[in-house]
Amino acid sequence: MIERYTRKAMGDLWSLENRFAAWLEVELAVCEAWTRLGRVPEADMAVIREKAGFDVARILEIEETTRHDVIAFLTAVEERVGPSARFIHLGCTSSDIVDTANALLLGRAGDLILADLDGLLTAIKDLAMRFKGQLMIGRTHGIHAEPLSFGMKMASFYAEFSRHRERFVAALTGVRVGKISGAVGGYAHLDPRVEAIAMDIMGLAVDPISTQIIQRDRHAAFFTALALIAGGVERLSTELRHLQRTEVLEAEEGFAKGQKGSSAMPHKKNPISAENLCGLSRLIRTNALASLENMPLWHERDISHSSVERVIMPDSTILADYTLARLTNILKNLKVNPDNMARNLMGSFGLFYSQRVLLALIEAGMDRQEAYVLVQRVAMACWEGRKSFPDAVRADPAITAKLAPAVLDALFDPTYYLAHEDLIYSRVFG
C-alpha cells in the first residue's frame, strides 16, 4: 500500500524485514519443539538461538539465483548459524513456515484493527449520547420521512459496528491457526507433537487437518469480515457526505486552520475525508473477492493464491487500519448543527405529521383508504402551495369533523417521535 494511506504500526508489521522475522519465529519454534522431543541436541539449539538471523539484502541477493524466497531465506540464516543449521526446517515444507507466519502477521494486524474498531465505537457512542433527543428529520429515498434524533442515527451505526467487531473477532480466531504437517499434511517426516509444541510457543491454534497449506476459507472469512467493515465505513461516510451538503448542512467535517477546499474557489469546505473513505472502502471489498477466488486450489495446493496474498494481506489490513482511524478522527471533530436540524425539520412544512393524522382518523372510525386519500389530498396541496400542514389540517372540514381541536394539538407534538428512544438506547448500549 502506498505511504499516503499507511499508518506506521501497521506498515511496519508488513515490512519485508518483519515478514522474514515472522518466518524465523516459526523456524525457531519448530526447532524448540524438536529440542524438547530430543531430536535436536541442546548444544545445537543454543547455537541456533544465539546466531539465527538474517540480512534482507543478502536474502534478496540469494533469491536472484534460487528464484525461491524461502530457500533464499534459509540459506541466509544457515550462513550465520553454521553447522547447527542442519536442524533448521527439519521435516518442514515451505508452506509450513509461510502459512504459519502469515497467521502470526494476520493475528497481529487483527489486534491493531480491533483497537481501531474500539476507538471508532467509542467515538460513535459519544455522539449518540451527546445528541440523544436532538430532533432531526429522517429521510427515506432522500426525501423527508419522519423525525428521529441525531443520537438515534448514531446509535444505529454503533449497533452495526458492534456486529462488525463480533464478526471480525470470529474471523480473526479462524486465521490464528498454524500448521507444521509437511508436504501434503500427513506428518510423513514430522511428529504431530512438534506442531502442537510450536503452536503453543507462538500462541496459535493447530489446524486440525491441513494439506500442504491451511485452507483458504479461513482467509476468505477474514477478508470478507474486513469487507463488511469497509461497507460500514462507507455507509457512515456516505451519511456524513449527505449531511454536509449545502442545502442540508446538519453536520460538517472539521476544517483545520490553513486548510484549503478548492484550488479555484476559496469558499469551499468539502467532505473530502468521507469521500476518501468511500473510495478506499471499495478497494477493501474488491480484495475480499480475490480472497474468495483463492479458495479452490489444485489438489493439496498450487501457488495461484500466493501472489494474490502478497498484495491483499498487507493492503487490506493497512487500509482497514487507515480508514477506521480516519473515520474516528472525523467523528471526534464533527461539527453538528442543531439549528439547521431544526430548520430542516420544518423544511417540508410539517408534512411528517401525515401518518399521525392518518392513524388518528382511522382510530376515529374512518376507513383506512378513505383516510389515506383525505390526508394525502391535504398534504399534496401543502407541498404544492408551500403551506403549513398542521394549519391546513386544522382548516379542513372533513378532518375536523372527525378530530377535535385538542386531539389535533396533541398530534402535532414533535417529541412524540422520541417516545421509545430510551428503549432503543437500552437495547443498543445496555
In CATH terms, 348-429 corresponds, of 1.10.3720.10, 1.10.40.30, 3.40.50.10470, 3.40.50.300, to 1.10.40.30
Pick from 297, 296, 303, 238: which is nearest to 271 by CA?
A: 238
Residue 266's pLDDT band (boundaries 50, 70, 90)? confident
Query: 364 vs 119, 385, 390, 416, 417, CA distance in Å?
Result: 50, 28, 18, 19, 21
Task: Check residue 206 and give its pLDDT.
Answer: 98
- Name the active-site residue from 15, 68, 189, 262: 262
Provide the residue ranges of all domains of the chain, joining segments of one domain with +: 3-87, 94-253+266-343, 348-429
E strand or H helix at 177, and its extent? strand 177-178
Single out the residue of 347, 146, 405, 138 nearest to residue 393, CA to CA: 405
Q: What fold is seen in the domain 94-253+266-343?
A: Fumarase C; Chain A, domain 2 (1.20.200)
Helix (H) or strand (E) holding 137: strand 135-140
* Phi, psi at 38, each rounded to 5°: 90, 5
- Over the chain, what is the mean pLDDT? 97
Q: Return the SS3 of 108.
A: helix
Instruction: Copy the grid coordinates of residue 344.
Output: 430542516
pLDDT at residue number 343: 97
Q: Provide the pairing of β-strand 205-206 with 251-252.
A: unpaired
* Digit-coded pLDDT (tens) for 356-387: 999 999 999 999 999 999 999 999 999 999 99
Dist. CA 83–CA 56, nearest whole Å: 21
CA distance 89 to 309: 23
* Residues 6+ away with beta carbon under 8 Å from 292: 220, 224
pLDDT of residue 291: 97
Which fold is adopted by the domain 3-87? Fumarase C; Chain B, domain 1 (1.10.275)
Does 262 participate in catalysis according to the annotation? yes
Nearest to 40 by CA among 183, 157, 197: 197
- Hey, how many other C-beta atoms are within 10 angstroms of the C-beta on 308? 17
Residue identified by cell 509444541 is: 197
Q: For residue 65, what is its C-alpha cell?
A: 539465483
DSSP state of 4: G
Per-residue exposure over 354-375, b if at least 16 CB sit within 10 Å of its own CB, e if not: bebbbebbeeeebeeeebbebb
**Cα–Cα distance measured from residue 234 to residue 240, given in angstroms and rounded to the nearest whole number:** 10
Spatial CB neighbours of 98, under 8 Å, sequence gap ≥ 6? 23, 70
- Cα separation, 218 vs 399, in Å, equals 62
Residue 418 has pLDDT above 90, yes or no: yes
- Cβ atoms of 359 and 395 within 8 Å: the answer is no
**Cβ neighbours of residue 236 under 8 Å, at least 6 residues apart?**
157, 327
Q: How does residue 255 score in pLDDT terms, banded at 50, 70 and 90?
A: confident
Backbone angles phi, psi at 428, to 5 degrees: -80, -45
Interval 228-250: pLDDT, tens: 999 999 999 999 999 999 999 99
The pLDDT confidence band at residue 192, using thresholds 50, 70 and 90, is very high
Cβ contact 351:265 at 8 Å: no
Active site residue 68: no
pLDDT at 262 over 90: no
Check residue 258 and give its pLDDT: 85
Average pLDDT for 216-235: 98
CB-based contact 49:28 (threshold 8 Å):
yes
pLDDT at 256 over 90: no
Does the pLDDT value for residue 100 go beyond 90?
yes
DSSP string for 344-410? HHTTTTTGGGHHHHHHHHHHTT--HHHHHHHHHHHHHHHHHHT--HHHHHHH-HHHHTTS-HHHHHH
Residue 314 CB: number of other CB atoms within 10 A? 20
Quick one: what percent of the chain has pLDDT higher than 90?
96
Q: How far apart (Å, rounded) are the C-alpha atoms in residues 361 and 379?
A: 15
**Is residue 257 very low, low, confident or very high in pLDDT (cuts 50, 70, 90)?**
confident
